[in-house]
Amino acid sequence: MFRLDERLKVYLHRAPVDFRLNINGLATLVQQALGLDPFAACVYVFSNRRRNRVKILGWDRNGFWLLLKRLEEDRFIWPAETAAPTLTVEQLHWLLEGIDIGVVQRHPQRVYQHVG
């Protein structure tokens, strides 16, 4: 079964795509536009021009998964433009929930040498 566990890499396709594209078309975009391997243990996230639909493409051992989420009235908040950004699975969940991940900031991770 396909799982979105915390170690999974998530790549965001920047430009909107034609949602008539199927698995083969999206896999070709991954390879040509992002320069990545569509058969890798990652997921690739695509959006349409209106940002009310998201497709997620992933490879699982012997076949592709294609997930689609369509919003009825709202829009997804797409992160600021960068070249093929990677997201964490947690950030992907935030994106799908409508949270602007460009604004969310975590506390920095602290590493201490001694106690006391």
Decide if pLDDT at 2 tops 90. Answer: no
- In tens, the pLDDT along 16-56 reads 999 999 999 999 999 998 999 999 999 999 999 999 999 99
Q: How open is the CA angle 109-103-107, to the nearest 5 degrees?
A: 15
pTM over 0.85: no
Q: Which residue has the higher pLDDT, 106 or 60?
A: 60
Pairwise CA distance, residues 18 & 32, whole Å: 15
Q: What is the pLDDT of residue 65?
A: 94
Pairwise CA distance, residues 89 & 6, whole Å: 6
Pairwise CA distance, residues 103 & 91, whole Å: 11
54, 26 Cβ separation under 8 angstroms? no
Terminal Cα-to-Cα distance of the chain (whole angstroms): 46
Res. 77 pLDDT band, cuts 50 70 90: confident
Q: What is the pLDDT of residue 108?
A: 80
**Residue 110 identity:** R
